[in-house]
Amino acid sequence: MKTNDTRTELNLELYRMLYLIRTCEETIVEHYFEDEMKTPMHMSMGAEAISVGICQALRPEDHVFGTYRSHALFLAKTGDTDDFFAEMYGKDTSSLKGKGGSMHLCSPDHGFMGASAIVASAIPVAAGCAFANKRANNGKLVAVFFGDGAADEGCFWESLNAACLMKLPILFVCEDNGLAVHTPKSCRRGYSSLVDVVSKFNCIAHEHKTTDAEAIYELTSELIETMKNEQKPGFLRLEYCRYLEHVGVQQDFEAGYRSVEEFEQWYKFDPVALQRKKLQNLGYQTDNIKRLETEIEEGVSRSFSKAKNASFCEVSELYKEVLV
């Protein structure tokens, strides 16, 4: 049973992370048009509660894998805004020296093991990592994040099958925005419920439609506990609304594949606004919330300026640590 203080502390931490991620992406939206960030952007806006809630339930030493849409996951796992912006600008100060860009974020020191632009391709790699962790008996859990479109790929099912057979310590997280670029699930699938199908495997599968980071944290914590007790992989399908277009920093309802009404329904429960309201309901003073927000904005602004003013790496560096 949580005391009120512990609950406020948890919700404060969740809000800190949600606000940090939103501020970082708003900074990208504000400056992307300057054309100095030479990387395609697949924005997380709308999905933040998933990465924040789940990473809060993981331990720092646990591993995560992501996709080309991993800003929220990277920041929730690493909290490293200096590295994040340096990589967006492709600068020497990033730990990847600008070789990854927005679509291939990576920070193994923080347990963020990698991300890939090839749909579903991180899933078998994550299963391999879970196999290595199991063999090493190091107690680490792997959480692999992917979109609903990735569940249309064979390697998702092959990895799920192998993980269930081998009882691997891995949590499959489907971040479900109902779209693969512009194509809805109803045009792509010969079944209706992903969780129903996944439940037939020897794993523990749940789904939820919420933008509440605390609810996602609670659900994930319980799921991880059950996974450990039953020695089975886990699967979570979490719905969210992708606020912006598939790629880029715009919102375009004229494109005609989704409605303003649908977006407005979701926006009423925006994860950042919802969490702010929750803090107020828990009795956390508005002045304190504003102070926290200013602190975060100043930190993000410092990381952004450092990245913008940093140098590019030497040409020779571009030949290192790449496969040719």
Ligand X SMILES: Cc1ncc(C[n+]2csc(CCOP(=O)(O)OP(=O)(O)O)c2C)c(N)n1
Contacting residues toward Mg ion, per CB under 5 A: 147-149, 177, 179
Q: With binding defined as CB under 6 A, does residue 97 bind ligand X? A: no
Angle at CA of residue 225, ends 221 and 226, nearest 5°: 120
The footprint of ligand X on residues 158-177 (CB under 6 A) is 177
Q: With binding defined as CB under 6 A, does residue 189 bind ligand X? A: no
Choose the binding region for ligand X from 127-135, 178-186, 219-227, 262-270 (rule: CB under 6 A). 178-186
Quick one: which H or E segment has residue 186? none
Return the DSSP state at 42: B
Least distance between ligand X and beta carbon 187 (Å): 12
Encoding tokens for residue 183?
């194509």
The footprint of ligand X on residues 238-277 (CB under 6 A) is 246
Q: With binding defined as CB under 6 A, does residue 180 bind ligand X? A: yes
165 binds, among Mg ion, ligand X, none (CB under 5 to 8 A by kind): none
| Residue showing tokens 């020296």 | 97
Nearer to ligand X among residue 22 and residue 69 (C-beta): 69
Least distance between ligand X and beta carbon 205 (Å): 18
Residue nearest to ligand X (CB): 147
Q: With binding defined as CB under 6 A, does residue 185 bind ligand X? A: no
Whole-number Å distance between alpha carbons of 246 and 41: 9
Residue nearest to Mg ion (CB): 147
Q: With binding defined as CB under 6 A, does residue 119 bind ligand X? A: yes
Nearer to ligand X among residue 164 and residue 180 (C-beta): 180
Return the DSSP state at 251: -
Return the DSSP state at 200: T
Choose the binding region for ligand X from 23-31, 77-85, 102-110, 114-122 (rule: CB under 6 A). 114-122
Residue from the set 52, 179, 198, 313 that interacts with ligand X by CB under 6 A: 179
246 binds, among ligand X, Mg ion, none (CB under 5 to 8 A by kind): ligand X
279 Cβ contact partners less than 8 Å away, ≥ 6 residues apart: 8, 11, 12, 15, 289
Nearer to Mg ion among residue 37 and residue 179 (C-beta): 179
Cα 263 off chain centre by:
20
Q: With binding defined as CB under 6 A, does residue 69 bind ligand X? A: yes
Cα 12 off chain centre by:
19
Whole-number Å distance between alpha carbons of 251 and 243: 7
Q: With binding defined as CB under 6 A, does residue 149 bind ligand X? A: yes
Q: With binding defined as CB under 6 A, does residue 126 bind ligand X? A: no
Q: With binding defined as CB under 6 A, does residue 150 bind ligand X? A: yes
Using a 10 angstrom Cβ sphere, with 0-12 exposed, 13-18 middle and 19 or more buried, the burial of residue 299 is middle
- Does residue 81 contact residue 298 with C-beta atoms inside 8 Å? no
**Residues near ligand X (CB under 6 A), total:** 13
Choose the binding region for ligand X from 112-120, 232-240, 250-258, 269-277 (rule: CB under 6 A). 112-120
- Does residue 32 contact residue 63 with C-beta atoms inside 8 Å? no
Q: Are strands 63-67 and 142-147 parallel, antiparallel or unpaired?
A: parallel
Of the candidates 163, 174, 173, which has an alpha carbon nearest to the alpha carbon of residue 233? Answer: 163
Helix %, strand %, coil % for the chain, to 5? 55, 15, 35
Least distance between ligand X and beta carbon 38 (Å): 19
Interface residues with ligand X (CB under 6 A)? 69, 117-119, 147-150, 177, 179-181, 246
